Amino acid sequence: MYDATDLATITGRSLVGAIAGDVVSYSGGAASFSDKNAGTGKTVSGTGLTLTGADAGNYTVNTSATTTADITKAALTVSSIGQNKVYDATPSATVTLVDNRLGSDVLALGYGAASFNDKIIGAAKTVAVTGIALGGADAGNYSFNTTTSTTADIMALAITGSITAANKAYDASDAATITGRSVAGVLGADVVSYSGGTASFDNKNAGTGKTVTGTGLGLTGADAGNYTVNSTATTQADITPAPLDITANSATRVYGDANPTFAATYTGFQTGESAATLSGTLAFASPSVPSSNVGNYAIIPSGQSSTNYTISYINGTLSVAPVSLMVTADAKSKVYGTSDAVLTFGVTGLVNNPALGVVDTAGTVLSGTLTRAGGETVLGGPYAITQGSLVANSNYTLSSFAGNGLTITPAALNVAANSQNKIFGTSDPVLTFSVTGLVNNPALGIADTAGIVLSGALTRVPGESALGGPYAITQGSLAANSNYTLGFTLNNFTITGAAEEPVLGFNPGQIIYTGIINNDPYERPGNFWHISLNYNNADPGFDVMRGTGDLNSRSNRHSINCASVFGGGFCETWQFPQQFGEGDKKEAK
């Protein structure tokens, strides 16, 4: 069998020509093939052959001899050493072939294929090697196996996973949300996904391009076991400031007061946070001052800041309410027929606060006037005094009005009886009077007359003798209505004597006579006789005539000396009373 040398082994020696019985042997020597290579019928040359034995000396022999023999091929055992590999999604393998060649034989080994039993990772996985081929200068000297097997590892392929994270509004935590996961390095159609994990920002504060770290990341999918991946990954995202509303709380006060202490409501603080996390001091402003009119005014907050919040300030409303004002009407009185006094009132509730710059008066706050119920009579009163058009300005509410009354007291009315007379034996004339104090005030719609105001009649003290008079004319039943207080002045009623009743104490040419001519009453003592003449029914004239006739007989005709009046001559003589009686008209001559 091929042993990589040309050495041959002499397996037998024989002699031809030795005499029978001689002890002679062919021995010794060394043999070699013509070359080392395997082959059949190869020439073998022996050299250094000699004779031995008792009779050897008697002979000579050839020292070299040839023969033929085969060199069979040596059995070459080809084995393989598997090479570990990183998962490549195939079962292909790489091996190194080794053999048991002899010496320094030149052989070249190769193989057709090497493969794992599957593509899945594992340790000491069987690798089958097929198509082993042998080449090289000494290849013909060997027989060899064409297949072999070995083991090797398929190691997981390291791939790289990455994440994306969502921007978020500040929420007082560093928690982040993974929005995307991707993996680089997955082979072919392998089903592998980057999944799981949680993420967090480097801190909770708002900022841009902040580092987000995901942890607990891994692979899923049918082929995930063939890969390794980073369990942590980083990316960047923003934490934007969270919206925070600072709303001034609405408040109320009444006109004239100082503004109240303002406060605010915070909306939008994240869990566990409060105003203490903000910088600055909350402040408030308002255009309202104590003297501001009733209405609504802005409460304006400001003064705080934060990098983690976008602060929106929202104004509140300060409602300035009117002050409650109470007005009480003053009682009033007047005399019947006079104009009303100005209706006045008292006020409580006016703001008087000099320290705050508010000093209101009735004149600056109230407008309009009180009114009273209509009526101008004494008995109709008291007349209610009401609010009328009196109103307060917008800074006050006239919440209480207490009315009062206007009383009308009677006016003073004076009645003076007129003096009256008559001739003895005649009927009393109507007793008359004059009146002062009657109200005539068109502005009040009052135009009183005696006929409207007075009722009843005067009377006189009884008596019918000229000698018993004068008789007092008294008030009698004369009375004024309730709008007046009646004052009365007495007068006298005189009875004049006739011939039948001489007037004692007078000369015969004297008379005391009360004449009633054309219903005009006159009283003339002494030698005077007042006659009212109506010339042709024209304007009446009054003439005083001195009478010289003897009037002591009612049946005689008498002449009257008219010289003192008309410059001489005589008036017509008249029969009294037949020709010149009460109501007659005579023409003076």
Note the pLDDT of residue 518.
Answer: 29
- Return the C-alpha torsion angle 265, 266, 272, 275, nearest 10: -90
Residue range 243-321 forms a domain whose CATH class is alpha beta
Res 407 pLDDT > 70: yes
Is the per-residue pLDDT at 427 higher than 80? yes
Please check the confidence at residue 375 and state whether its pLDDT lies above 50: yes
Classify residue 236 as exposed, middle or buried by CB count within 10 Å of its CB (0-12, 13-18, 19+): middle
Q: How confident is the model at residue 327 (pLDDT cuts 50, 70, 90)?
A: very high
Euclidean distance between the first and the last CA atom of the chain, given in angstroms as a whole number: 221
With 0.85 as the threshold, say if the pTM is over it.
no
Q: Which residues pair with residue 459 across a beta bridge?
A: 474
**CA gap 532, 526 in Å, rounded:** 18
What band does 440 get if pLDDT is binned at 50, 70 and 90? very high
pLDDT above 80 (res 470): yes
Residue 583: predicted pLDDT: 35
CB atoms within 10 A of CB 269: 16
Q: What distance in Å separates the CA atoms of residue 483 and residue 453, rounded to the nearest whole number?
A: 8
What is the per-residue burial (b if ≥16 Cβ within 10 Å, else e) of 70-106? ebebbebebbbebeebebebebebebebebebbeebe
Confidence of residue 496 (pLDDT cuts 50, 70, 90): confident
* Separation in Å, CA 194 to CA 139, 227, 338: 53, 11, 109
Q: How far apart are CA 44 and CA 148, in angstroms?
A: 37
Quick one: tokens of 48? 């250094």
Q: Is the pLDDT of residue 545 over 70?
A: no
Mean pLDDT computed over 245-260: 97
Please say if the pLDDT value at position 491 is more than 70. yes
Q: Which residue has the higher pLDDT, 332 or 498?
A: 332
At residue 526, does pLDDT exceed 90? no
- pLDDT of 512 > 60? The answer is no
Neighbour-count burial of 347, counting CB atoms closer than 10 A to its CB (0-12 exposed, 13-18 middle, 19+ buried): middle
Please determine, for residue 487, whether its predicted confidence score (pLDDT) is greater than 80. yes
Q: What pLDDT is stored for residue 289 in this prediction?
A: 95
pLDDT of residue 468: 83
- The per-residue pLDDT for 586 is 32
Whether residue 413 contacts residue 433, with contact meaning beta carbons closer than 8 Å, is answered with no
How high is the pLDDT of residue 497? 67
How do the domains of the chain map onto residue ranges?
A: 7-72, 75-155, 157-240, 243-321, 323-409, 411-496
For residues 554-572, average pLDDT: 34
